[in-house]
Amino acid sequence: MAKTVKGKHPVYLENPQIDKLLAIVMALTGEVSVLRDRLDTIERLLEVKGILSITEIEGYQPDAEVINQREKWRAEYIMRVLRVVQDELQTLSQD
């Protein structure tokens, strides 16, 4: 379940739209950083244990089913990331 913030959002820059964009970028930056560390750990463990090499991981070619699953996940993820923009558009359309 997605967390929602109650109350007024703080504004750090002169333009609240730029603040929202900055919030999106910073949230994504945090997610990418955590994912990068976890992926690095997994790849190192796989290589140390002799399960997979980095070369095998980099050479992997997904089949159509995997590609479709990834595209579905990516579309849902982008919707979550851009939720703040969607919320703003809904608020504007209700006014």
Q: How many CB atoms lie within 10 A of CB 29?
A: 10
Instruction: Quick: pLDDT tens for 37-87.
Output: 999 999 999 999 999 999 999 999 999 999 999 999 999 988 887 887 787
Answer yes or no: do 19 and 55 share one domain.
yes
Q: Could you list the residue range(s) of the whole structural domain that residue 50 is in?
A: 14-60
Tell me whether residue 6 is in a domain: no
Tell me whether residue 91 is in a domain: yes
Find all residues with CB under 8 Å of 54, minimum gap 6, and list them: 43, 47
Q: Give the position of tokens 């990418």.
A: 32
Cut 0.85: pTM above it = no
Q: Where are the beta strands (DSSP E) in 12-81?
A: none
Query: At 92, is the secondary structure helix, strand, or coil?
Result: helix
Tell me whether residue 8 is in a domain: no
Tell me whether residue 3 is in a domain: no
Instruction: Quick: pLDDT tens for 24-45.
Output: 889 889 999 999 999 999 999 9
State the total domains in the chain: 2
Of 35, 34, 33, 53, nearest to 43 by C-alpha is 53
Q: Give the position of tokens 């730029």.
A: 18
Tell me whether residue 55 is in a domain: yes
